[in-house]
Amino acid sequence: MRTLLAGPLLLLILLAAPARAQLAADRPVAPDTLTVGAYNLQNVFDVWDNPYTKDETTKVKSRDDVRHLARAIKALDADVLVVQELEHEQLLTALVEEFLPDAGYDYIAAVPGNDPRGILLGCLSRYPITQITSHRLQWFTHPDAPDEPHRFARDLLRFTLDVGLDRPLHVYNVHLKSNRSRTGDTHSKRKRTAEAMRIKQILRDQVAADPGVLAMVAGDFNSAYETRPAQDRPWPAMAHLRQPEADGSILLTDVHDALTDAQRVTHPGGDRYPPVTFDYLLTAPAMTQRYVPDSAAVLPQGPLTSGSDHLPIRATFRIKE
């Protein structure tokens, strides 16, 4: 039996070795700087019905809107862009192939999550995505309701990327629970805050294990950093993410913090909301140290960004030290 197995096993080893060598040879050269962005694309759904989700309740995204999304993505010019509200990975691939063929987004990924309509979290990258880690199966609670278990409304999806350094870059993509009320949970405040608490604990554990870890959390948090007179609901989820640790240190830094209220609005408002900030880039300490001052920006509302009800955000970081 050993003689019969030796040939096939040896062949597999010989075939695998060149592939590993080729992957090592193709590692990217670390850039001087790297721009990371986040963009809620607003319901990018196709015409086909998925029998396993409630996608039929959502309007198909028009070709004109997809074209506007592509123009905004081109203007944002992020090297790594995490996106929300996407029906499946093939739509993201089609958007790039048809409207952004020369943008350099050779690495595209999206993974199913918990959303009943089937909206996913995805990533466009100019650098290799080497691993995707889902947290959609994790259970957690809010301290005010310890008998009420929660999962992430969509997911907390960690994209691990090779940007040419001796350590990877981790970008966590988030889309927290919407502000639609749940039974006994007005504006879903408790669930969304439980999600935020779990996210912060995951980052806290990662930083404790490796203080130099290059990590950030980006996406649509459905929670503002402040309360305006026109908005009477509290925003404890973002307050929890931004608050200092018990020892006074900052675990997650909001890199857009220096912008004015008007400059950092990412959801221009409508029937349900006044203008508000829902989209953020929150950096762990080692990544905060690499932030390029004054690089954080929000693309302004206008024809360029008319493909979504959110505005895309970006920030730039030093990669080569």
Residue 60 to residues 65, 66, 228: CA-CA distances in angstroms?
10, 11, 33
- Among 60-69, 282-291, 292-301, which stretch is predicted with the lowest mean pLDDT? 60-69
Tens-digit pLDDT profile for residues 120-138: 899 999 999 999 999 999 9
**Residue type at position 236:** P
Angle CA 274–276–277, to nearest 5:
170
- Domain residue limits, the chain: 30-318
Report residue 304's pLDDT band, with 50, 70 and 90 as the boundaries: confident
The answer to whether residues 96 and 74 touch, using CB atoms and an 8 Å cutoff, is no
SS3 at position 237: helix
Report residue 11's pLDDT band, with 50, 70 and 90 as the boundaries: very low
Secondary-structure class of domain 30-318 per CATH: alpha beta
Angle CA 172–37–98, to nearest 5:
110
| Closest C-alpha among 294, 280, 278, 312 to residue 73 | 312
Burial of 236 (0-12, 13-18, 19+ CB in 10 A): middle
Report residue 248's pLDDT band, with 50, 70 and 90 as the boundaries: very high
Average pLDDT score over residue span 172-196: 90
Integer-rounded Cα Rg, in Å, for the chain is 21
Tens-digit pLDDT profile for residues 46-102: 534 565 555 555 566 677 888 989 999 999 999 999 999 887 788 899 899 999 999
SS3 at position 50: coil
**pLDDT score for 54:** 53
Average pLDDT score over residue span 266-275: 80
DSSP string across 91-138: HHHHHHHHH-TTS---EEEEE--S-TT--EEEEEESS-EEEEEE-TT-
Average pLDDT score over residue span 167-194: 91
- Among 81-85, 240-244, 308-312, which stretch is predicted with the lowest mean pLDDT? 308-312
49-53, 203-207, 230-234: range with highest mean pLDDT: 203-207
Average pLDDT for the chain: 86
| Closest C-alpha among 31, 37, 33, 32 to residue 297 | 37
The pair phi, psi for residue 118, each rounded to 5°, is 95, 15
The pair phi, psi for residue 165, each rounded to 5°, is -95, 180
The answer to whether residues 132 and 157 touch, using CB atoms and an 8 Å cutoff, is yes
**pLDDT score for 233:** 61
- Among 26-30, 31-35, 114-118, which stretch is predicted with the lowest mean pLDDT? 114-118
Burial of 62 (0-12, 13-18, 19+ CB in 10 A): exposed
Joined together, the tokens standing for residue 317 give 């970081």
